Amino acid sequence: MYEYLASVQSAVRRVNERIKTLSEKFGTNSSLINNIASKYEVIFGSNMVYKNGVPQLVKPSEIFNDEYMSQVLQAEDKMLRTWGSYRKQYEKEYLGYTVEQGSNDKLSMPDFIQTMQNISGALRDVPSDTMPSDALKIMRTNGRKKTYAELIDVYNILKKKGLI
């Protein structure tokens, strides 16, 4: 729990700035930002507003006076990832993807990161018996590592079929 209101104000500023940067990179309608917004609406209630489509915390004094909100803010301040941490995690994969794609149309790095994150969740959540045959065929390719383009195709197939 925070000892001083100034500490809460600083934490709110840091969290809001991270969310703003993530919104600029991934888009205000991205699943990442929507997940943050949903979580904050439940936990912080009227203390969260949208500024230009970006979820932002607005009343540090309310958070300071509420033990639960203070604890959540402290956790968010430590765990909410920065754009730099996403970029660092996916840099090598993105480089491999751009080399693999050559001069073909390429996803931007933020789109690539978001797609890779969504693919892993989708492959985990969609049972193989409901997976479309064309996606299943790609996933059952043996003897070599699947290309990023193939994984993105699987993601697009699942999205088109409404499975994610």
Q: Are residues 68 and 50 in the same domain?
A: yes
Q: Are residues 16 and 75 in the same domain?
A: yes
Q: Are residues 94 and 148 in the same domain?
A: yes
Structure tokens that stand for 159 in this block: 């999205």
What span, in angstroms and rounded, lies between the C-alpha atoms of 50 and 46? 11
Note the pLDDT of residue 28. 94
Q: Are residues 65 and 100 in the same domain?
A: no
Range of the domain at 89: 84-160
Note the pLDDT of residue 91. 94
Q: Are residues 54 and 106 in the same domain?
A: no
Q: Could you count the other beta carbons within 10 Å of the beta carbon of residue 106?
A: 16
The DSSP letter of residue 154 is H
Q: Are residues 72 and 124 in the same domain?
A: no
Note the pLDDT of residue 122. 78
Q: Which residues of 123-159 are buried (b: 16+ CB within 10 A; e: fewer)?
A: beebeeeebeeebeebeeeeeeeeebeebbebbebbe
Note the pLDDT of residue 158. 86
What span, in angstroms and rounded, lies between the C-alpha atoms of 45 and 76? 16
Q: Are residues 94 and 155 in the same domain?
A: yes
Q: Are residues 61 and 99 in the same domain?
A: no
Domain boundary among 80, 115, 147: 80
The rounded Cα 12 to chain-centroid distance in angstroms is: 19
Structure tokens that stand for 97 in this block: 């993807």
Q: Are residues 102 and 42 in the same domain?
A: no
Q: Are residues 88 and 71 in the same domain?
A: no
Q: Are residues 141 and 103 in the same domain?
A: yes
Domain boundary among 80, 101, 134: 80
DSSP-based three-state secondary structure for 130: coil
Per the structure, how many domains does the chain have? 2
Domain boundary among 18, 50, 80: 80
Q: Are residues 90 and 31 in the same domain?
A: no
β-pair partners for 56: 49
Q: For residues 141 and 150, is the Cβ–Cβ distance under 8 A?
A: yes
Could you tell me the pTM of the whole model?
0.81
Note the pLDDT of residue 81. 95
DSSP-based three-state secondary structure for 51: strand
User: pLDDT per position in the chain (164 positions), as tens?
Assistant: 788 999 999 999 999 999 999 999 999 999 899 999 999 999 999 999 999 999 999 999 999 999 999 999 999 999 999 999 999 999 999 998 898 888 777 889 999 998 888 887 777 888 878 888 888 888 888 888 888 888 888 888 888 888 77
Pairing of strands 48-51, 54-57: antiparallel
